[in-house]
């Protein structure tokens, strides 16, 4: 593959998605009959993007398999075993996603091997590990975005639960009051996740009645009531008091490492992650919840919410800096008379135009590719440098 190519990307129609956001971005009729939750840009085996080659749409996964070095670049191909190491998504949440956590690389490899050995089908509802890869991820808000990320401190959890007067949790909270560290937090959360149904329903009912008094004062209590409306009686309704509530303005981003419990609540964002679909869920879902496996991989250290810092890249580019090896997210803005010019020595990149119109031209071909809002392209390593002219804003995924 030796030229920039337009991508055709699959849409995931999960129930929590939006009937307008991705559809409007792509110029499709909106509102749609079914919700569009995620637009996938990449080469994941579950749903690879397609590229027009020799007059037909072909799987990006297969194209990379045939010629990994020209697409990925020699260094990326060697480091990541001839695979595209990232998966790029537009995520549109009109309803809350499940409380979830992603495994580290060792846990993913072992879990994938174990479930294969047990003969669990890849599409079975009880399957936890869909592949052998870890899934660190970053999310950048396109619209105002809310989510939950990592544990609050034990002191904060106790204070918030005391405000809603959850006497039915007095036993479970007692150790947390006396042991306000990671082990106390682990014991408390394990106890919470292990409540029998009758006890769980009493706890949730009492907590929601308490939270209703504060819905106009604190978004944490607002979200408790909303989560219980979506998933009545689910212990996950308490999660806004247990996890940090994150509010992102457009352009702000967070990074989710392996082992960190999180849940996206509402908004549209660009999500970039290692090329994996491994998710272990802990509530707020009709899908499989495997509590013992979840507890094995969760990091119980309370962490403050830190937003990803923006650093300078090339002129016209800002980079979201994270510790991940597999991916790098950046935003590129071009204005008339002020083009973006890439580096000459670069690996594979995928870009999506989020607003405006532009033309992208590589060093080896005179004919530019025209792009408008919702269009996306893959820029193989083999094309060398490229230039973007016009007036537009792009999000770019690179290694």
Helices within the chain (DSSP H only)? 21-26, 60-66, 68-72, 74-79, 105-117, 154-163, 170-178, 182-193, 197-211, 219-230, 239-242, 291-297
Is residue 271 a known part of a binding site?
no
Query: Residue 177 burial (CB < 10 Å; 0-12/13-18/19+)?
Result: middle
How far is Cα 73 from Cα 76, in angstroms, rounded to an integer? 5
Q: Encoding tokens for residue 201? A: 């329903």
Measured between alpha carbons, how far is 210 from 204 in angstroms, rounded to an integer? 10
Distance CA 328, CA 309 (A): 12
Judge whether 100 is annotated as a binding position: yes
Angle at which helix 170-178 crosses helix 154-163, to 10 degrees, equals: 150
Residues 35 and 108: their CA atoms lie apart, in Å, by: 30
Q: Looking at the DSSP assignment, which residues form a beta bridge with residue 359? A: 370, 389
User: 44: annotated binding-site residue?
Assistant: no
Using alpha carbons, select from 127, 130, 126, 135 the residue that is nearest to residue 101: 135
Q: Is 58 within any annotated ligand binding site?
A: no
Tell me if residue 281 is catalytic. Answer: yes
CB 83 within 8 A of CB 275: yes
In Å, the largest CA–CA distance within the chain is 72
Catalytic residue, chosen from 95, 152, 200, 281, is 281
How far is 93 from 148, CA to CA, in rounded Å? Answer: 13
Residue ranges at the known binding site for Zn(2+): 100, 102, 137, 262
Residue ranges at the known binding site: 100, 102, 137, 262
Tell me the catalytic residues: 281
């Amino acid at each position: 593959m030796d030229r920039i190519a337009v991508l055709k990307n699959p849409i995931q129609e999960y129930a929590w998605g939006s009937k307008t956001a991705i559809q409007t971005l792509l110029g499709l009729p909106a509102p749609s009959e079914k919700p569009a939750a995620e637009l996938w840009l990449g080469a994941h085996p579950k749903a690879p993007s397609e590229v027009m080659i020799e007059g037909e749409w072909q799987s990006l996964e297969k194209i990379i398999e045939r010629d990994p070095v020209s697409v990925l670049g020699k260094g990326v191909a060697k480091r990541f075993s001839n695979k595209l190491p990232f998966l790029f998504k537009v995520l549109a949440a009109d309803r809350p996603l499940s409380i979830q956590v992603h495994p580290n690389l060792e846990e993913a490899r072992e879990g994938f091997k174990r479930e294969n050995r047990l003969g669990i089908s890849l599409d079975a509802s009880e399957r936890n590990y869909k592949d052998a890869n870890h899934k660190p991820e970053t999310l950048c808000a396109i619209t105002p975005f809310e989510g939950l990320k990592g544990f609050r401190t034990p002191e904060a959890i106790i204070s918030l639960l005391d405000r809603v007067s959850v006497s039915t949790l007095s036993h479970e909270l007692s150790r947390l009051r006396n042991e306000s560290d990671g082990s106390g937090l682990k014991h408390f959360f394990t106890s919470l996740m292990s409540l029998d149904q009758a006890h769980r329903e009493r706890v949730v009912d009492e907590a929601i009645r308490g939270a209703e008094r504060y819905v106009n004062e604190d978004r944490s209590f607002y979200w408790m009531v909303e989560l219980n409306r979506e998933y009545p009686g689910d212990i996950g309704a308490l999660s806004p008091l247990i996890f940090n509530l994150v509010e992102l303005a457009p352009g702000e981003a967070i990074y989710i490492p392996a082992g960190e419990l999180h849940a996206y609540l509402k908004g549209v964002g660009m999500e970039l992650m290692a090329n994996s679909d491994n998710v272990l869920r802990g509530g707020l879902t009709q899908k499989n919840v495997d509590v013992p496996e979840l507890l094995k991989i969760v990091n119980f250290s309370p962490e403050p919410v830190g937003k990803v810092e923006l650093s300078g890249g090339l002129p016209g580019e800002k980079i979201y800096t994270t510790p991940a090896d597999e991916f790098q997210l950046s935003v590129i803005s071009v204005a008339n008379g002020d083009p973006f010019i890439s580096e000459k020595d670069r690996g594979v990149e995928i870009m999506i135009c989020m607003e405006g119109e532009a033309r992208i031209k590589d060093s080896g071909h005179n004919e530019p590719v025209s792009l408008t809002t919702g269009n996306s392209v893959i820029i193989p390593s083999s094309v060398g440098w490229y230039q973007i002219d016009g007036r537009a804003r792009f999000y770019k995924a690179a290694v």
